[in-house]
Structure 1
Amino acid sequence: MRVLQVSAEFFPLLKTGGLADVAGALPLALAAAGQDVRVLLPGFPSILAGLTDTTDVADVEAPWGQRARLRAGRIAAPGGAPITAYVLDAPALYDRPGTPYEDASRQPYADNARRFALLGWAAARLARGLDPSWQPDVVHAHDWHAGLAPAYLSFDAAAGGPRVGSVFTVHNLAYQGVFPPSDFAGLGLPPAAFDVNGLEYHGQLSFMKAGLYFSDRLTTVSPTYAREIQTPEQGCGLDGLLRGRSGVLTGILNAVDDAVWDPGTDPLLPHPYDVRRPGGKALCKAGLQQELGLAIDPDAPLFVMVSRLTEQKGQHLVLDGLDALIAQGGQLALLGNGERWLEDAFRDRAAAAPQSVHATIGYNERFAHRLFGAGDVTLVPSMFEPCGLTQMYGLKYGSLPLVHRVGGLADTVVDCTLEDIADGHATGFVFDGFDADGYGRALRRAFALYRRPADWRRVRGTAMRRPADWQAAAARYIGVYEQSLA
């Protein structure tokens, strides 16, 4: 089966969150399962810089007149064969300062609708044979940035174009790509598309809704999140549509790329380790404590947090509970950026207690690996979490996750109750109420277990052995692709 994956990000070339990790790992797993997979990406500078063996495929003209050059080449993949990629070379749209979505002042680019409509438009053109040497059977669009691809495919098919299966994956329903209705003009969709049964969303234009409405099949990144987004509490205004399409919605749990995330072979760790030889983890911890200016104390549990800094991620709970964490002898090392007040608050706490708290504002892939390698507990107290990869990295690296029981966190972490420890199922610390009391009690359970070294080692071993391979996820995606063609 020929599958075109469409995404705005791709690890290792461009990453702002978990979307990039999935977009980079899933094609490798699909290829290993015998599928013919290619990816389509916007021509951000880091993506173009990572493209090798480049050839020009065709010129693409968007419905509003914007022109781009579609290039094909290869992207080196950790632990696998290079991936064939199409990249839209359009410097006027993609070669800009800031993030892929915001300018240097953290304001969304005013023309984001067109910047990402071009991605969907190019996917549909490839489905119609833009590259005469390769034409997809299925287009798999990831998140709102690629949400117009299923809409273009649907109207192409209605006009007599080729039948191509479409799959749309929701990575985070809270980010919907909503734009003013004036942006609909020029997108190349018929007027009927701007309708409640289409892209229209409370008088505006929603790329997320386009993907949800027009795709043959829908997936999201964990089974629990698939159920949650059909409720008013977590449906973000789209729960009615999702309930109506529940028959084509599948929750497929994300996985971990072993070529990138394996403490036994990770070149970014100063001291590799694994379940059978865990000594390197203590060395990683001592080295990081020294480097960050934390007290070098093996008896102080090191809590780590690698995250976007937003209230959704529950960092206000961490801040409110920081005095208790320090009073019980713990340490916190943070890596992330986001809302300014959270950045400032963590900087202030680190300055006030430098031997117990360290905050690195920004993102650094190497440092993220070192945090998981050194950490005893990984904090992921999110209000909602579609899947979450951070807790899965924590499991893999023996940094036991402390999580709120929602979404993929509920699907991947088993609380350290006495019975689950005894049965060999416990892997972390889980709380139900999204409040200071629930978080605080989970924190106390973490300290209590840490003071029982034999039980801690047993739970850590269970966590590190938890299967999280992409092969099982890829098999489920292949089943969804086949359904989209039925």
Structure 2
Amino acid sequence: MKIYFAASEADPFAKSGGLGDVAAALPRQLANMGYDVRVVLPMYSNIPHQLRKEFIYKYNFYVEMPKVHQYAGVFTYEYQGVQYYFIDNEYYFARNGLYGFFDDGERFSFYNRALLDLLIREEFYPDIIHLNDWHTGAAAALFKEFYAHQPGFEKTRTIFTIHNLKYQGIFPYSVLKDYLGLGDEYFSYDKMEHFGNINFLKAGLSLADFVTTVSQTYASELQYAYYSEGLHSLILHRANDIRGIVNGIDVEHYNPATDPDIFKNYDSEHIEGKKKNKTELQKLLGLHEDPDVPLLGLISRLTPQKGLDLLAFIFDELMEENVQVVLLGSGKEEIENQFLEFSHRYRSKASANIFFSPSLAKKIYAASDIFLMPSRFEPCGLGQLIAMRYGSVPVVRKTGGLADTVVPYNRFTGEGTGFAFQNFNAHELLFTIKDALYYYHNDVTAWKSIITQAMEADHSWKSSAKEYVRLYKELIAK
């Protein structure tokens, strides 16, 4: 089976969020299973130089768009058993950042056309074209219009994965005609039209042969208007063609037994190593050094989606407890300033680190006793999976992938990998944190059992990759 995986980012080449992790780990797992997997990405100028210098230039061609024609260089690189293609165009991709530019509609129209043209030039006719998020959504429309009936593509099927419905790639109508080169038949509510504009994500949602989301619960939640971000009717129309497959994590990369970024390595049989990580992190961040004080970690984009307003509302009450809080992430300025103010007010108990550092993130996972994810919605979430891998007990809201991956502790059976609350309510969050603190302080046996269950749970890509393979085979058989 031949699989063509199209994304806008993949670790370690470019990454702004969870998509970068998925686009790296899933193709690698599929390749390990013996499938011919090829990944295509934009060749951003901020790809690390030590990787970029290994890329091999192959050839170039021109992408013909109605308004412009643009150079597309093709570079290749094999990384961890996966063949990568990089589409080069300095006008579009030699910028300080991945997205958020005034001409993103033009940039990603070019990329969507180029990634499909590449297939013909490579004479690679995949069984599956797997598109991801709005950045590649328009390729579903382009494939149907220009490629599906060409020799070699007769049996090719398209899958579109929604990693986060919040971000849709909405651009003026002119992008449809000037850059995608699609006719007005695509400017309809059941295809790409969106309140007078065009919507790249909607193209993938409406025109791909099948749609997946990144957890079973999120797939169900999207059928409710509260979660569907203005696409409720279309999602209900395609409900039979939408399936949730939960993400995994790279368990080799995230392994506290071998991780070089943490202060002391440990495993589920030697969890006392977490205390050394805690005291070293406390020292690094200027917190009061105490191996026994419960340390609460939070690593997140600072956006309304992540439920930071709940934590802010009860922060003063939380500081009345004997706890410490460490936050890492950046985002909306008002949220950043709010938590910076908390860290100044509670200097020995709270640390707000308004940036992102993969190394510091791992140190927080390893040092923290409790990991907070009070999300308003969460398509899958990787933070809770990594936290469990490092023995940091998650306290989460039961939504999306958080509901699918964290088993709430049951004091009667002793089963559970974390704690969860149902309603988006600040004091439900506070009471759930206090519930976790109760076991931390008063029932060491139960607490160690929760940590062990969390660390030994299988959150690798193995089972999820098998689900994708089953889906691929179902589509090919149709």
For 1:152 and 1:69, the matched residues in 2 are separated by 17
Render the CA deviation track for 1:40-90: whole Å, top value 9, x for unaligned. 1111113374242412233131413242323232254xxxx2421111111
Partner of 1:181: 173
Judging changes above 3 Å, is the alpha-carbon distance between structure 1 residues 48 and 337 closer, same or farther for their aligned structure 2 residues?
Answer: closer
Residues 82-121 of structure 1: pairs in structure 2 closer than 5 A: 82-97=81-96, 99-102=97-100, 109-121=101-113
Counterpart residue number, 2:474: 483
Aligned residues: 470
Q: Normalised by the size of structure 2, how large is the TM-score? A: 0.95
Q: Which of 190, 198, 220 is 2:191 aligned to?
A: 198
Q: 2-side partners of 1:183 and 1:53: how far apart? A: 31
Q: Provide the secondary structure at the position in 2 that maps to 1:167.
A: strand
Q: Does 1:254 align with 2:247?
A: yes
Q: Does 1:445 align with 2:435?
A: yes
Q: Is the 8 A contact 2:391 2:454 kept in 1?
A: yes
| Deviations, residues 169-221 of structure 1 (Å, cap 9, x unaligned) | 00000111111212222212222111122111122100010000110111000
Aligned mates of 2:135, 2:385 — CA distance in 1: 25
Task: Deviation per CA, 1:138-163: give whole Å up to 9, x if none.
Answer: 11111001101111111125655523
TM-score, normalised by the number of residues in structure 1: 0.94
1:433 pairs with 2:432: no
Alpha carbons 1:377, 1:402 under 8 Å: kept: yes
In the alignment, which residue of structure 2 is the partner of 1:55?
A: 57
| 1:479 maps to amino acid | R
2:393 equivalent to 1:400: yes
Amino acid at match of 1:87: F
- Residues 294 and 357 of structure 1 are in contact (CA less than 8 Å); yes or no, is this contact kept in structure 2? yes
Amino acid at match of 1:425: E
Q: Which runs of 5+ in 1 are unaligned?
A: 103-108
Provide the C-alpha distance between the structure 1 equivalents of 2:295 and 2:160, rounded to a whole number of angstroms.
39
Q: Any idea what the Cα deviations from partners look like across 1:350-391, whole Å, max 9, x if unmatched?
A: 111111000111111111111101111111100000000001
Aligned position for 1:338: 331
SS in 2 for 1:418: coil
> What is the CA distance between 1:250 and its match in structure 2?
1.1
Distance in 1, Cα, partners of 2:325 & 2:381 = 20
What is the 5 A alignment of 1:202-213? 202-213=195-206
Tell me how far apart the structure 2 counterparts of residues 284 and 293 of structure 1 sit (CA, whole Å): 14
Answer yes or no: is 1:469 the counterpart of 2:460. yes
The amino acid of 1:354's aligned partner reads R
* Aligned-pair CA distance for 1:135: 3.2
SS in 2 for 1:5: strand
Gaps of 5+ in 2: none
2-structure distance, mates of 1:268, 1:209: 40
Q: Name the Cα RMSD after superposition.
A: 1.5
| 1:303–1:333 contact (8 Å) kept in structure 2 | yes
Flag the 1:69–1:276 CA change in 2: closer, same or farther, 3 A: same
Give the aligned partner of residue 106 of structure 1.
Answer: none
2:445 aligned with 1:454, yes or no? yes
Q: What secondary structure is seen at the aligned counterpart in 1 of 2:46?
A: helix
The answer to which of 384-393 and 244-253 deviates more is 244-253
- State, as a whole percentage, how many aligned pairs show the same letter: 34
Q: State the Cα distance separating 1:126 from its structure 2 match.
A: 3.0
With over 3 angstroms needed to count, the CA separation of the structure-2 counterparts of 1:328 and 1:70, relative to structure 1, is: same
Secondary structure of 1:41's counterpart equals: strand
Aligned residue for 1:65?
68
Deviation at 1:299, TM superposition (A): 2.0
